[in-house]
Structure 1
Amino acid sequence: MIGKILGALVGRELDRRDGSGGIKGAAMGALVGGALRRMGPLGMVLGGGYVAKKAYDRHRATRRVPPAI
């Protein structure tokens, strides 16, 4: 179950690159999810790390920087 969720999140992140949504992200998520599950725990760590890094980068990009004095 966690592998399917990670596959969906990775597919969403890959699909955000080109800006168009739809079938491509879902297909990529299914393929990546299957590959991550076959890699075992290492695949889950790699997939989770990829999604976490993308979320962290998105958070840093939207954070306001205080003006310098």
Structure 2
Amino acid sequence: MIGKIIGAYAGDKLAKKVDGFGIGGAGGAALGVVAASVLRRMSLPAMLAVGAGSYVAKKIYERSQRGESIVTGEPLPQKTETRAAA
């Protein structure tokens, strides 16, 4: 029970800090309770795999936002619009 309370508190604080997803304090608290329950049932290798996958996904997302290639890290060529001859 204490784990659910701590998870709800952490989820509430995190949801208020990250406004980009449209989750309010109550939604964050609910997600915190669910996350605490899921983590309690996961094995250590599964937790490590989820953490590593989240880290890689975050890095890929950041590179795409900066306009860099995911594979090489070099800047991507700028997209140009072409018009058909009229």
TM (norm. structure 1) is 0.47
Instruction: Name the structure with the higher helix share.
Output: 1
Give the structure with higher Rg (CA): 2
